[in-house]
Amino acid sequence: MSTFDYDLFVIGGGSGGVRAGRVAAESGARVGLAEEFRMGGTCVIRGCVPKKLMVFASKFGPAAAEARDFGWDMPDGSFDWSVFRPKLHAELTRLENIYRTNLARPGTEIHDARAVLKDAHTVELSNGRTFSAKHILVATGGRPFIPDLPGAELGITSNEIFNLDRLPEKVLILGGGYIACEFACILNGLGVHVTQWHRGPQILRGFDDEVRGHIAEIMLAQGIDLRVGVSPREFERAEGRIRARGTDDHKVMVDEVLWATGRVPNSDGLGLTDLGVELGESGEIVVDDYSQTSVPSVFAIGDVTNRIALTPVAIREGAAFVETVFKGNPTKPDHELVASAVFTQPEYGTVGLTEEGARAQEKIDVYCATFRPMQKSFIDRDEKALFKLIVSQESQRVLGCHIVADGAGEMIQLAAVAVKMGATKADFDRAVAVHPTMAEEIVLMKTPVRAD
């Protein structure tokens, strides 16, 4: 008989922690899980899900203008946040209840409290209760980073944007990563005047350079006041609004400031350093290939480890942890060739290497096509789709695939299967095109635009 209260105690009720807790309980383990906020974590409550619902909502305004050009008698209309917001929160509550139900069904005990580590096998909850566990899994995710600047507290983050009482008329978005660019497109589509400042020379650092420039041009053409090479300097309340001043002395008056300047691992105040758990420079929990920390009984998965900060990756890491620890099947989570999507408008789907990353490791051929899709061309819209393949000259394997187009997130999921399998350019070429579609371009690019 075990001397521990639980075989596994999970700290954090996000996608990764819930998956690990549920699967471990299904395998017969006694599992406890503590979540201090709401079950579902960043993705379900304040990230992927509400963001994507806002993406859907934001597309209908521009679609009305396109509908008129197709012959529909369609008024512009206006977006009513007061109608959308309660439906959004009702959906999040529904999803949270599903998470709770699925977690509790196999016997996981849920604790609605904050948990900290007291020693290698003990957690203490904010309600005063203490539990022992053979294994402890930290899955506390990440949180938005806000720089220390005068007046920075006047801004909000992506955590709070879904709870606004009303949409602002004007917003300043700070940052150039995927969260900043997604919300710039969302709010612009909902009729908000959007200014975006990014300190770097181009948005979407870390993604393919050609794609970054392509998306920036589209955002500017859509009316987003995108300014690169500008950092915020200070903020102050003025005339019932917020006055922001940048490093170039440019000033704007807005109703809201949205910080989207990156995220950091949520590892503070958990008792990790006192216990001897190694942390990295950004506060990430350092783990080995099996998600084990420097303290053998303590494991960590998801964004708090700062490996690949994506929900499906955290879920895979949670499942691999259970296979390793509870099923006797040592399993490393696979972090190679992970596809992702940036929900700008249009979307950006990507898997594999960027052109720059591929060129740094070997000689490559680059296939790229930019064109106006049939739907846009018919109504004389300038917005162009982009399809790009990076191919190894030596092996002819497709090293990277990049798509900027409506539905790119859906397309890249399927392309990722081929890239993951090691498909060559000839394999793509052998596939017969589906016509007329945008996606057919991925099998029709015959001549490299660049080779080196």
Q: Which residue intervals of 326-430 are DSSP H helices?
A: 355-361, 374-378, 408-420, 425-430
| Predicted confidence (pLDDT) at residue 1 exceeds the cutoff of 70 | no
The residue among 237, 234, 227, 240 whose CA lies nearest residue 200 is: 227
Whether residues 133 and 14 fall in one domain: yes
pLDDT per position as a tens digit, 32-63: 999 999 999 999 999 999 999 999 999 999 99
Q: Is residue 416 part of a domain?
A: yes
What confidence score (pLDDT) does residue 438 get?
96
Strand order in the sheet with 170-174: 156-157, 256-259, 170-174, 193-198, 225-228
pLDDT per position as a tens digit, 191-245: 999 999 999 999 999 999 999 999 999 999 999 999 999 999 999 999 999 999 9
Tokens (6 digits) for 103? 């977690």
Residue with tokens 């917003």: 171
Whether residues 123 and 272 fall in one domain: yes
Q: What is the largest CA-CA distance in the chain?
A: 74
Q: Is residue 40 part of a domain?
A: yes
Whether residues 286 and 256 fall in one domain: no
What confidence score (pLDDT) does residue 76 get?
85
Query: Does the global pTM surpass 0.85?
Result: yes
Average pLDDT, the chain: 96
Q: Is residue 34 part of a domain?
A: yes
What confidence score (pLDDT) does residue 77 get?
86
Whether residues 244 and 303 fall in one domain: no
Whether residues 127 and 161 fall in one domain: no
Q: Is residue 332 part of a domain?
A: no
Whether residues 251 and 268 fall in one domain: no
Average pLDDT of span 64-88: 94
Indicate which residue of 89, 198, 402, 435 is catalytic.
435
What confidence score (pLDDT) does residue 33 get?
98
pLDDT per position as a tens digit, 270-314: 999 999 999 999 999 999 999 999 999 999 999 999 999 999 999
Average pLDDT of span 342-355: 98
Average pLDDT of span 186-193: 97
Torsion angle, CA of 266/96/81/63, rounded to 10 degrees? Answer: 100
Average pLDDT of span 371-397: 96
What confidence score (pLDDT) does residue 192 get?
97
Average pLDDT of span 353-381: 96
Q: Is residue 334 part of a domain?
A: no
Whether residues 230 and 379 fall in one domain: no
Whether residues 435 and 349 fall in one domain: yes
At residue 168, what is the residue type? P
Phi-psi group of 276: left, alpha or beta (phi > 0 → left; psi -120 to 50 → alpha; rest → beta): left
**Catalytic residue status for 435:** yes
- What is the percent of the chain with per-residue pLDDT over 90, rounded to a whole number? 97
The C-alpha atoms of residue 275 and residue 141 are separated, in whole angstroms, by 19
Whether residues 57 and 125 fall in one domain: yes
Count of domains forming the chain:
3
The C-alpha atoms of residue 89 and residue 107 are separated, in whole angstroms, by 27
| Domain of residue 429, CATH code | 3.30.390.30
| Domain of residue 62, CATH code | 3.50.50.60
At residue 355, what is the residue type? E
3-state DSSP call for residue 151?
coil
What confidence score (pLDDT) does residue 410 get?
97
Whether residues 286 and 430 fall in one domain: no
Could you tell me the residue range of the domain that residue 215 belongs to? 152-261
3-state DSSP call for residue 260?
coil
pLDDT per position as a tens digit, 138-174: 999 999 999 999 999 999 999 999 999 999 999 999 9
